[in-house]
Chains A and B, each alone.
Chain A
Amino acid sequence: MGNHWMNHKFKKRLFTVFFIGIIILFSLWIRAYAGAMKDYRRAESFANEKQYIKAVTYFDRAMHWYTPFNPYVEQSAEHLWGISLRAEKDGDYILAGIAVESIRNSYYSSRSFYSPGKNWIVKCDERTGYILQNYGSSVFTGGNIVSDTINDEKKAVKYNDPDLFWTIILELGLFGWISSTICFIWFCLRNDKKTDRFFYRAFFWVPVICLNYGIWILGMIAA
Chain B
Amino acid sequence: MKQQPLINNLSAATFIFVFIVYLSTVCPTVYVGDSGELTAAAYSLGIPHPSGYPLFALIGKIFCLIPVGSIGFRMNLMSAALSSATVLIVFNIIYSLSSSRLASVFGALCLAFTQVFWLQTVSAEVYPLHTFFVALLIRLLIYWDGNKSFASLCLFAFIVGLSFLNHLQTVMMAPAVLFFLIYSDRKGVLNPKSLFTISLFFLFALSAYVYLPLRTHAGAAIHWGDPDTFKNFWAVVSGSAHRSHYIFGHSLSYYITRSKDALAIVFSQFWIVIITAFWGFLKLPDCRWKIFYSLIIIFDFFYTIFLNSVFLEITAFNLPTLIVLSILSGIGISEILKKCKDVSGSGRRRVYNVTKASCCLIPVIFFVSNYNICDQSKNYIGYEHSLNAFRTVSPQGVLFADGDNNIFPMVYTRVIERMREDVSVYDLKNLFFRVDNSDALTEKDVSSRNTLLPRLQEEVVKKYSNQGVFLKIFDPYGIKIPEAHRLIPYGTLLLVSGDGMELDEQRYKSVWKYYSNESIEGNFIKDYMNREVAAYYHYTKGQYLLLNGGIELGLKRLALASEEGYNDEIIHVKLALLYTDIGIFNLAEQELEKALLYCDDTAMVYNNWGYYYSKKGDIDNAVLSIRKAVELNPNKTAYYNNLGSILIEKGNVDEAVKVLKKSISIDSNQEHQKEIVRKYESGKGM
Contact = CB atoms under 8 A, between A and B. Distances in A.
Interface string B291-308: 000000000000000000
Given A167-B45, A220-B215, A140 B58 contact: no
A74 to B, nearest CB: 15
A222 B214 CA distance: 10
Interface string A97-131: 01001001110111111101000000000001000
A171 B67 contact: no
Which of A13, A32, A105, A221 has most chain B Cβ within 10 Å? A105
A134 B464 CA distance: 21
Contacts, number: 214
B473 interface: no
Contact of B417 (A57, A105, A157): A105
Given A16-B8, A141-B503, A66 B466 contact: no
A141 B502 contact: yes
B512 to A, nearest CB: 10
A174 B58 contact: yes
Contacts of A155: 436
Nearest to B419: A105
A217 B214 contact: yes
A6 interface: no
Interface string A155-183: 11111111000010011001000100110
A109 B68 contact: no
Given A27-B20, A142-B502, A185-B155, A57 B518 contact: yes
B44 A161 contact: yes
B584 to A, nearest CB: 29
B421 interface: yes
B12 A20 contact: yes
Interface magnitude class on chain B: 35 or more
B464 A136 contact: no
A141 B506 CA distance: 10
A140 B504 contact: yes
A14 interface: no
Interface string A196-223: 0000000000000000000001001111
Interface string B179-216: 00000000000000000000001001100101100110
Contacts of A35: 28, 69
Given A65-B70, A132-B422, A138-B468, 4 more contacts: A150-B464, A158-B421, A190-B149, A223-B45
25 contacts: A28-B66, A28-B77, A53-B513, A65-B28, A65-B70, A66-B68, A68-B67, A94-B510, A104-B418, A106-B417, A109-B71, A110-B67, A112-B64, A112-B67, A137-B394, A142-B502, A143-B468, A143-B501, A146-B396, A146-B464, A146-B466, A156-B424, A167-B61, A178-B162, A220-B211
Interface of B: 5, 8-9, 12, 15-16, 19-20, 23-24, 28-29, 43-45, 58, 61-62, 64-73, 77, 149-151, 154-155, 158, 162, 201, 204-205, 208, 210-211, 214-215, 217-221, 380, 391, 394-398, 413-424, 433-434, 436, 464, 466-468, 490, 495, 497, 501-504, 507-508, 510, 513-516, 518
Shortest beta-carbon contacts, A-B, top 6? A136-B395, A112-B67, A109-B70, A189-B151, A159-B221, A105-B417
